[in-house]
Structure 1
Amino acid sequence: METWLSPAVQLVKSVLMETVTRMRLVGGNLALDFVNTRVGPPGAAPDDDVLTGYPELIAWGGYAGDLTDIEATALRRRARDDAAGADAAFLRAVHTRDDLDEIFQALAAGRSPDPTALARLRDGEADALAHARLDQDGGFAWSWRDDHSLARPLRPVVHAAIGLLTTATMARIKRCEACSFVFYDESKNRSRRWCSMEDCGTAEKMRRYVAARRNRAAT
C-alpha cells in the first residue's frame, strides 16, 4: 500500500534525495558506500559530506537500498517526535563511519586497522544482531524489518562491514587512485584502480592523454 505524503514532505524528501544521490554507489558493499558519503581529495581532509543530519541519513539509507520507503517514512515521523533521539542516533552513525573509514582505509593501504575501531565495530554487530530476525527465503538472511528504532539505518551497514571483513579477500579492498573512495575490487585479476571507470577512470585517462600530447608537442 502506498504511503500518502503531503506536498511539503514530498518537497523535503525530493531535496534530500537530490543531495544524497550525487554520491555514487561504487563501493560494492553497503559499508564501503557508507564510508564514501564523506569524501575529499587523496591525502587531504574530507571536504564534502552528504550526511549532515538524521534526515540525510534516512535519505541515504533509501538511496542505498538499506531502507524501504515505508521504513524511511516511519523513521522520519519518529525522528520528528524524538529530535534528541534522532540526533543521538545520527552522532552514533557518524562515529561508526569514522571507525569504518579507519578500518577500510587501513586495509586498502596494507596496514592493520586500529584494534579499538575493530572492537567498537564488534560491539555494533552484537547490537545489530540483537535487533535482527533470521528470515528464510530459500536460504536464510538477517533482516531488520521489525526494527523500528532510530538506530535502524546503521545496523545493516555494520553487519555488511562485518560480512566483508570475515568473508572477503582483504587484498581486494582498495582506495581509488584519483579520489578517496574505497571499493571492493571484483575484477578477475584484481587490476581495478579507480572507484568508477566512468568518472575517475575516464578523468585520469584524459589527464594522461593531455599530458602525453603536451609532451609530444614540446619535443
Structure 2
Amino acid sequence: MLELKDINVSYGAIHAIHDVSLTVNDGEIVSLIGANGAGKTTILHTITGLKKPSSGIISYDGKDLIKTEASKIITLGMAHVPEGRHIFPSMTVFENLEMGAYIRNNREEISESINEVFERFPRLKERKKQLAGTLSGGEQQMLAVGRALMSKPKIILMDEPSMGLSPLLVKEIFAIIREVHRQEITVLLVEQNAKMALSIADRAYVLETGHISMSGDAKELLNNEKVKKAYLGL
C-alpha cells in the first residue's frame, strides 16, 4: 500500500533522514518507534507532502506521492493525525468534524459519518457544541482521530497520539487505535511509547538519528534485548 525507498531529507545543512526505506501493507498496523528527535515526525511530514525529500521514492497505491501536491494526498485515501492534535480550537466539536469531511460532497453521508464518530466517541457527542479548545487533552485526541476518520481514509498516519496523556487515557487511545484498525483501516503509528506501540502492531521499525536500525515482527522486537534496554526501560 505505502512504500518509502531510500528517502533522504535535509533541513538546510542538517541531513535529518538517511536512506530510509519502509513498507506498510494493506490491513496492517505498522509502528515507527524511536527517541525524541530521531526523525519520526519528519518521515510522516515527508509522506504527506509537508516536507520534500532530497532523494528517494514514496509510492502509495501505485501513485508517486513526491509528485503529488500535499493538498491532493488526502483525496487518495490518506489521513494524518498530527503530533499535538492541531484541532481547530475556536470551532466547535461538530464543526471540526465537518472540516474533516471537506473533500466529500454528499451531506447525507457526511451526517452518517458524524453519527458514526459520535457512536465511537460518546464524549464528543456530549460536547458537540463545545469549542474544541476547551476540551481535555484526551478529548482533543479523540476529536483529532474522529476528524481524520471523516475523510473516509484507507490509511491513517498517527503521530504521537499518546503524548501528554495520563496512563489511563493512553490505554484508551490505544484501544481506539485497535478499533480503527478493526474498521479495515491501515495504520502507520509513530510513537515514543514503544511498549504500547509494539504491543498492538503487526510490524515495526526502529529509527535512530534518521536511520532505520532495526525492523521486523513487532512482538519479536518487543522481546529484543536491545529494544528493551533502549526503549522499554528494562
Please give the TM-score of this superposition, normalised by the length of structure 2: 0.30
More strand by share: 2
Q: Which has the higher helix share?
A: 1
Which structure is higher in RCO with an 8 Å CA cutoff and minimum separation 6?
2
Larger radius of gyration: 1
TM-score, normalisation: structure 1: 0.32
